[in-house]
Amino acid sequence: MKPNVLSISCLSLLCLLSACRQGAQNVDRQEPLVILGSLTGVGQEIVEEAFASFTAETGIEVVYEGTDAFATVLPIRIAGGDVPDLAIFPQPGLMADLAREGALTPLDDVVDLNTLTTAFGSDWVNLGTVDDQVYGVWMRSDPKSLVWYNPNNFEAAGYTIPTSWDELMALTEQIAAEGKTPWCLGIESGEASGWVGTDWVEDILLRTAGPEVYDQWVTHEIPFNSPPVRTALQMFGDIVRSDRYVRGGAVGAISTPFGDAPTPLFDQPPGCYLHRQASFITDFLPDTVEPGRDTQVFLLPGNGPTAPLLTGGLVFAMTNNTPAAQAAMQYLTTVTPHASWAARGYISPHQDVDLALYPNDGIRQIAAVLDQADTIRFDGSDLMPAAVGAGTFWTEMVNYVSGADVDAVLSAIDSSWPEDE
């Protein structure tokens, strides 16, 4: 049972009286703390609300600037000397690039790393680490290793939640043997078609080969056409290229927009029973569907007692080393801003956030899945060079689902890896 979040928040604010004020004691109160991020609209409001307590305790005004061209704008501003104090990175890859260029400040002397590890866990700290120095404090997790199902249809059919990959495949075969369709799956996404397939392969590789091999694959220490990757792709193919297992078969998977894919879960009779997709799929569910009631999730299982979780997310880093920026990074290690984000529906990786804070059962269940994961890894394609992760990996997944040879697909991706990376 997690402690009461109100008690934690009060303690956190008391800590800020000393930590944040000490960090901000030399700050010119007329100079605001500037944060640049990719969130706009409601997202901007959510960020600003979370810093209200920081301003109240330190007197430091916070100005958030949102842009949908973050990856382009931030490097230009850094090069031009118009540097924000903090940046919220939607991908750790750009953060790592800027850290290696010396554009970011490591946090080893800014925050207490033991406190940071206790608050977030070692995996999240490692995901914010570049060349053995910590740069990032995570704001939000977007879990990807989720299997969505309709609990009413599951119960009516007598199905139970699988706890291993073997059980998942046994359930898949059972549903198919009953003349029904196990999976809904769609990989169509315009110019980004194929990314759904990359997520599947990443998830399977993480489960079958383990996090160490996964990390080596992401950095190309092992080639794309190595045996573990080949096995993972074939396991994905066993599902997606089967007319018995996927609604519409491979042709249906290729032609179905990813946002439309889960809709048949709610048909009567059901058009499918399982759908693997990230937390953001709730934005595409039919208006009549209430997550947590009409659809629930479980963690895509592995073959061990627990399973790893693939995630996306948002991470803070310090782009301007000032006392105000240091105080803000210290604030981000406390539960206070994360409790604010949780109350607005953002899933926080901070381990002291009470699940009761989340606004509905659907988000609460996703957050619980995050809590259950024994290992966390970031989406691999987002960490790879763009020519691969947002290029050949996407396009070759479409080719593979269409029937291309597994070795030809993997060799094509591997040969596209830039020679200098």
Q: What is the pLDDT of residue 5?
A: 38
Tokens 């608050």 belong to residue: 119
Expressed as residue numbers, the domain containing 59 is: 5-142+313-370
289: pLDDT confidence band, cut at 50, 70 and 90? very high
**101-111: average pLDDT:** 97
- Rounded (10°) angle between helices 92-100 and 70-80: 20
Residue 416's closest CA among 374, 387, 389, 396? 387
Mean pLDDT of the chain, nearest integer: 92
Query: Would you put residue 102 in left (φ > 0), alpha (ψ -120 to 50) or beta?
Result: left
Task: Please give the distance of CA 102 from its chain centroid, rounded to a whole number.
Answer: 26
Residue 317's closest CA among 102, 171, 56, 5? 102
Q: pLDDT for 341-393, tens place per residue?
A: 999 999 999 999 999 999 999 999 999 999 888 899 999 999 999 999 999 99
H helix or E strand, kind and range, residue 254: helix 249-255
Q: Are residues 9 and 68 in the same domain?
A: yes
Q: Are residues 202 and 121 in the same domain?
A: no
- Which residue type occupies 275? H
Q: pTM of whole model > 0.85?
A: yes
Which of 370, 392, 407 represents a domain boundary (last residue)? 370
Residue 112 lies in a domain: yes
Higher pLDDT, 374 or 398: 398
DSSP notation for 316-331: EEESS--HHHHHHHHH
Q: What is the pLDDT of residue 31?
A: 86
Q: Are residues 108 and 236 in the same domain?
A: no
Q: Are residues 224 and 297 in the same domain?
A: yes
H helix or E strand, kind and range, residue 314: strand 309-318
Q: What is the largest CA-CA distance in the chain?
A: 71
Q: Are residues 246 and 283 in the same domain?
A: yes
Q: Are residues 124 and 42 in the same domain?
A: yes
Higher pLDDT, 18 or 191: 191
Residue 421 lies in a domain: no
Residues contacting 241, CB < 8 A, separation 6+ = 249, 250, 401, 403
Tokens matching residue 408 = 């030809």
Q: Give me the CATH number covering residue 358.
A: 3.40.190.10
Domain count, the chain: 2
Q: Are residues 185 and 82 in the same domain?
A: no
Residue 362 lies in a domain: yes
Q: Are residues 270 and 408 in the same domain?
A: yes
**252-260: average pLDDT:** 97
H helix or E strand, kind and range, residue 130: strand 129-130
Q: Are residues 223 and 318 in the same domain?
A: no
H helix or E strand, kind and range, residue 148: strand 146-149
Q: Are residues 382 and 289 in the same domain?
A: yes
Residue 340's closest CA among 113, 51, 125? 51
Phi, psi of 378 (to 5 degrees): -80, 155
Residue 410 lies in a domain: yes
Q: Are residues 292 and 351 in the same domain?
A: no
Could you tell me how many helices (H) and strands (E) the chain has, helices first? 20, 11
Q: Are residues 250 and 106 in the same domain?
A: no
Residue 358 lies in a domain: yes
Query: Would you put residue 121 in left (φ > 0), alpha (ψ -120 to 50) or beta?
Result: left
421: pLDDT confidence band, cut at 50, 70 and 90? low
